[in-house]
């Protein structure tokens, strides 16, 4: 049995109220964006081998909240790149204290439409004295957004800088397999809903097995999200998935708490 890491007190995230344009600008311009870190645990060694940076938005009435609504607002108002670069800079400052631990940052598919995004993202990381090779950029699949004409070129430039590229929420979108074949991804993150469904339905389990095998055929690292029970952990071990995230292991936590967790080994 894998031991469950005690929940850290730092994660006080609440359900977000309706997105506010003024709070979005505050997050971008005045430090209202706060990174939390969620560890990636190796199924082979049961140790933390990476982290995913998750943004939290500071609000005057609800404390720190999930940024989902703000990401959608930023996409609609063409402020998504500005939000991403602020997050990247803040994350890089903390990751510099994590002794070379690989880290993932979420990006919007819309950002891939600007070829110059690759160079700007590299600057945001290297300003902190870190190499781009320490970071993987997770391209969300949770919403149906087609990749534009410049996506392949932007991804290629990101890879040239050294960034890894992950297809996030694999199993949630309709065109995952084509994207694995046609774009330079290095990692697949299995959607939590896909993981949960595979625990109860034989068809879903067979589909998951096929997806993991496909990712392996393309030479990609596989990460399972939403691992909440020992049974889920056992399934991912059987599938020979590389890494796992989920509440069975620990919750997202503030940088100081995550740093302390790493020190404990």
Tell me the longest C-alpha to C-alpha distance in the chain.
50
Q: Which residues contact 143 (CB under 8 A, 6 or more apart)?
A: none
Please report the pLDDT score of residue 80 as a whole number: 95
Q: What is the mean pLDDT of residues 52-79?
A: 89
pLDDT, mean over the chain: 88
Tens digit of each residue's pLDDT (9 = 90 or more) over 121-145: 999 999 999 999 999 999 986 555 6
φ, ψ (nearest 5 deg) of residue 65: -130, 160
Rounded to a whole number of angstroms, the distance between the first and last alpha carbons of the chain is 17
Q: What is the mean pLDDT of residues 185-203?
A: 91
CB 103 within 8 A of CB 95: yes
Please report the pLDDT score of residue 254 as a whole number: 95
* Distance separating alpha carbons of residues 34 and 62, to the nearest angstrom: 14
Please report the pLDDT score of residue 238 as a whole number: 94
Q: What is the mean pLDDT of residues 56-61?
A: 86
CA–CA distances in Å: residue 44 to residues 58, 101, 215, 246, 261: 37, 17, 18, 16, 19
Please report the pLDDT score of residue 6 as a whole number: 36
CATH 3.20.190.10 fits 21-264, yes or no: no
185 by DSSP, 3-state: which? Answer: coil
CB 140 within 8 A of CB 176: no
- Which sign does the torsion angle of CA 172, 168, 54, 87 carry? negative
Tens digit of each residue's pLDDT (9 = 90 or more) over 15-49: 556 788 988 998 899 878 899 999 999 999 999 99
Where do the domains of the chain lie? 21-264
pLDDT tier for residue 178 given thresholds of 50, 70 and 90: confident
* Distance separating alpha carbons of residues 88 and 91, to the nearest angstrom: 5
Tens digit of each residue's pLDDT (9 = 90 or more) over 236-262: 999 999 999 999 998 999 999 999 999
């Amino acid at each position: 049995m894998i031991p469950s890491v005690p929940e850290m007190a730092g994660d006080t995230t609440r359900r977000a109220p309706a997105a506010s344009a003024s709070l979005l600008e505050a997050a971008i311009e005045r430090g209202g964006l706060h990174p939390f870190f969620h560890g990636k645990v190796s199924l082979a060694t049961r140790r933390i081998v990476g982290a995913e940076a998750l943004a939290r938005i500071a609000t005057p009435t609800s404390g720190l909240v999930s940024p989902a609504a703000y990401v959608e607002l930023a996409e609609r108002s063409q402020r998504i790149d500005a939000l991403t670069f602020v997050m990247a800079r803040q994350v890089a400052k903390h990751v510099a204290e994590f002794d070379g631990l690989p880290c993932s940052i979420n990006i919007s598919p819309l950002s891939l439409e600007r070829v110059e995004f690759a160079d700007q993202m590299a600057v945001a990381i290297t300003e902190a004295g870190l190499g781009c090779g320490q970071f993987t950029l997770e391209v969300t699949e949770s919403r149906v957004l087609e990749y534009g004409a410049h996506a392949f070129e932007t991804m290629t430039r990101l890879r040239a800088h050294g960034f890894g590229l992950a297809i996030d929420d694999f199993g949630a979108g309709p065109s995952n397999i084509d994207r694995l074949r046609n774009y330079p991804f290095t990692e697949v993150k299995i959607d939590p809903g896909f993981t949960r469904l595979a625990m109860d339905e034989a068809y879903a389990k067979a589909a998951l097995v096929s997806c993991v095998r496909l990712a392996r055929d393309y030479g990609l690292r596989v990460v399972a999200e939403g691992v909440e029970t020992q049974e889920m952990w056992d399934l991912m071990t059987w599938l020979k998935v590389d890494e796992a995230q989920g509440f069975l292991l620990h919750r997202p936590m503030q940088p100081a708490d995550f740093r302390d967790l790493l020190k404990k080994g």
